[in-house]
Chains A and B, each alone.
Chain A
Amino acid sequence: MEWGKVALYALCVVGVAATMLALSALVTRWLGPRQKRREKLEPYECGVPIQSPTRQRFSVHFYLVAILFILFDIEMVFLVPWAVLFRKLGVAGLIEMGLFLGVIGFGLAYVWRRGALNWE
């Protein structure tokens, strides 16, 4: 029932987005200016002809950040059930979570030490 409402609302939002896209596809194309020239349809590169293809290799740092993010994000998923119940779980739960967070903290310190968090 509640999820049905979420779905209906989501459908409405997607509908709004689709309307805007349709507006750009129909109304804008019909009423807006249409001047297509070859130079205009090239990707913008400061007004000069394209110097090199775009699909090139890029800095490995971005992959690194993504991988680190996934690791720490999964850690967060494990934290949620404990966060709801941590008062009831008491000291025992605290020690267990402390060990888990200790390992995570050690991981962060290791990554930091190895320089994976540095940007040049």
Chain B
Amino acid sequence: MRWIDLAKIGFVLAMVLSIVPVLVWLERKVSAFIQGRIGPNRTAVFGMRMAGLFQPLADAVKFIFKEDVVPLRVNRFLYTLAPTLVFVPPAIAFTVIPFGNKWGNEPLIVADVPIGILLLMSVLSISVYGLAFGGWASNNKFSLLGGLRSSAQMISYELTLGLTIITAVMMAGSVNPIEIVEKQAREGWNIVGGGNLWLAPAGIVATLLFYVASLAENNRLPFDLPECDAELVGGYHTEYSSMKFAMFFMGEYVAMVTMSALMVTLWLGGWHFPGLTRLHEGPYHWTEALVSHMVFMVKMGLVLFLAIWIRWTLPRYRYDQLMDLGWKRLVPLALATLVVVGVVGVLTHV
């Protein structure tokens, strides 16, 4: 383990954990803007208000000072394990996402695992357990229903997500995230077919499918059935309070960040932007590394902003509509896209 590895681990951990509060603030500000309100603007440090940027900090302090109510009839072990299982997997998935090009000859990724995308897929599917455990262990009918619903929703949309990830793997011809991004930098982003214009329509469709599935995976509106307050009170986290609730909350936002990063990596060219960053031989200057990281962050920010925009614009789906959309529309469409990419890719390869 070299120092640079430790530095990268620390950097990514800090990045993931510090994006979350900013994202919470952004969500509240954007929702306020969309609804014609002002949003949080009262929190201040030494008289500086910073447009309410300290609000998440105040929230965190408040979470610590709230009573940690553990109801009598819960299964204590699973009740404590559930928030951990929601928070940890999406954060771990960030190990295999390249957050920039290279600094010198050092790739800006925590671990250059040859099967990175597979690792990511397997780790991300663990978070279903968090919701299911949380719902079951609370020993509350609303939680149980919410947990069941959300696990059914997540596994249903995981099919679409997996199929579109495989479509991206087909376009790039690799399961290594670094190679996927470098191929896109060399030949063209996957959203426009990864250098093969015949695949461009399939690329656009698959990107949209991936995005819809990632919204459903993260229980974001219009798919936030697990916690639809009108029917299920709070869904699987009805009985959670204090820091344990904060962990569910943070886990949701970390998952959003991870999914956006994955979207950028698989479809939107990762750190690559024509004219700003380029692939070349030999060591990279630190300014190139910085610019590539900035490009990645800006793209990720735009994807996150889109998710927030969608949340405050669209109404919620009904549960049967949600399952219909997942199984009867998205899965067949994703399969068809995959077949189209296969056929067109082979025919135009010769």
Q: Is chain B a partner of chain A in the same complex?
A: yes
Contact between A94 and B80, CB atoms less than 8 A apart: no
| Complex: chain B residue closest to A64, CB-CB | B152
Complex partner residue of A6 from B95, B166, B319, B342, CB under 8 angstroms: B95
A50 to B110, CA, bound (A): 49
Is the CB of A103 closer than 8 A to any CB of chain B? no
Which residues of A8-59 have CB atoms within 8 Å of chain B's CB atoms? 8-10, 12-14, 16-18, 20-21, 23-25, 27-29, 31-35, 38, 40-46, 54-55, 58
Is the CB of B349 closer than 8 A to any CB of chain A? yes
Please give, as numbers and ranges, the residues of chain B lying within 8 Å of A119 by CB-CB distance. 319-320, 323-324
Contact between A32 and B65, CB atoms less than 8 A apart: yes
Question: Smallest Cβ distance from B231 to chain A, in angstroms?
Answer: 12
Given contacts A21-B84, A73-B162, A120-B320, is CB(A86)–CB(B68) below 8 Å?
no
- Residue of B83, B158, B339, B342 with highest tally of chain A CB at under 10 A: B342
Given contacts A117-B323, A120-B320, is CB(A23)–CB(B243) below 8 Å?
yes
Contact between B346 and A86, CB atoms less than 8 A apart: yes
A84 to B173, CA, bound (A): 5
Contact between A84 and B242, CB atoms less than 8 A apart: no
Which residues of B303-350 have CB atoms within 8 Å of chain A's CB atoms? 319-320, 323-324, 327-328, 331-332, 335, 338-339, 342-343, 345-346, 349
Contact between A20 and B243, CB atoms less than 8 A apart: yes
Question: Smallest Cβ distance from A2 to chain B, in angstroms?
Answer: 5
Please give, as numbers and ranges, the residues of chain B lying within 8 Å of A93 by CB-CB distance. 346
| Complex: chain A residue closest to B343, CB-CB | A94
Contact between B17 and A16, CB atoms less than 8 A apart: yes
**Chain B 215-247: CB-based contact to A (< 8 A → 1; otherwise 0):** 000000000000000000100001100111011
Please give, as numbers and ranges, the residues of chain B lying within 8 Å of A65 by CB-CB distance. 152, 155-156, 323
A-B contact count (CB 8 A): 207
Question: Smallest Cβ distance from A101 to chain B, in angstroms?
Answer: 6
Contact between B9 and A12, CB atoms less than 8 A apart: yes
The size of the chain B interface, using a CB distance under 8 A, is 80
Please give, as numbers and ranges, the residues of chain A lying within 8 Å of B349 by CB-CB distance. 87, 90
A69 to B162, CA, bound (A): 11
Pick out which of these stretches binds chain A: B47-55, B137-145, B202-210.
B137-145
Pick out which of these stretches binds chain A: B85-93, B182-190, B275-283, B293-301.
B85-93
**Chain B 97-135: CB-based contact to A (< 8 A → 1; otherwise 0):** 000000000000011111000110000000000000000
Given contacts A69-B159, A117-B323, is CB(A84)–CB(B331) below 8 Å?
no
Contact between B170 and A86, CB atoms less than 8 A apart: yes
A105 to B191, CA, bound (A): 25
Is the CB of B15 closer than 8 A to any CB of chain A? no
Please give, as numbers and ranges, the residues of chain B lying within 8 Å of A41 by CB-CB distance. 69-72
| Complex: chain B residue closest to A89, CB-CB | B346
Please give, as numbers and ranges, the residues of chain A lying within 8 Å of B111 by CB-CB distance. 2-3, 5-6, 9
Contact between A28 and B166, CB atoms less than 8 A apart: no
Residues of B within 8 A of A (CB): 1, 5, 9, 12-13, 17, 64-73, 80, 83-84, 87-88, 91-92, 95-96, 110-114, 118-119, 138-145, 148, 151-152, 155-156, 158-159, 162-163, 166-167, 169-170, 173-175, 233, 238-239, 242-244, 246-247, 319-320, 323-324, 327-328, 331-332, 335, 338-339, 342-343, 345-346, 349
- A–B pairs, 25, beta carbons within 8 Å: A2-B113, A5-B110, A6-B119, A13-B13, A17-B88, A17-B247, A20-B87, A21-B80, A21-B84, A28-B242, A43-B71, A43-B239, A44-B239, A54-B73, A54-B139, A58-B145, A69-B155, A69-B158, A69-B159, A73-B159, A83-B167, A83-B170, A86-B170, A112-B328, A119-B319
9 smallest CB-CB distances across A and B, nearest first, come from: A24-B243, A119-B320, A43-B140, A5-B111, A69-B155, A41-B72, A83-B170, A13-B91, A2-B111
Residues of A within 8 A of B (CB): 2-6, 8-10, 12-14, 16-18, 20-21, 23-25, 27-29, 31-35, 38, 40-46, 54-55, 58, 61-62, 65-66, 68-69, 72-73, 76, 79-80, 83-87, 90-91, 93-94, 97-98, 101, 104-105, 108, 112, 117-120
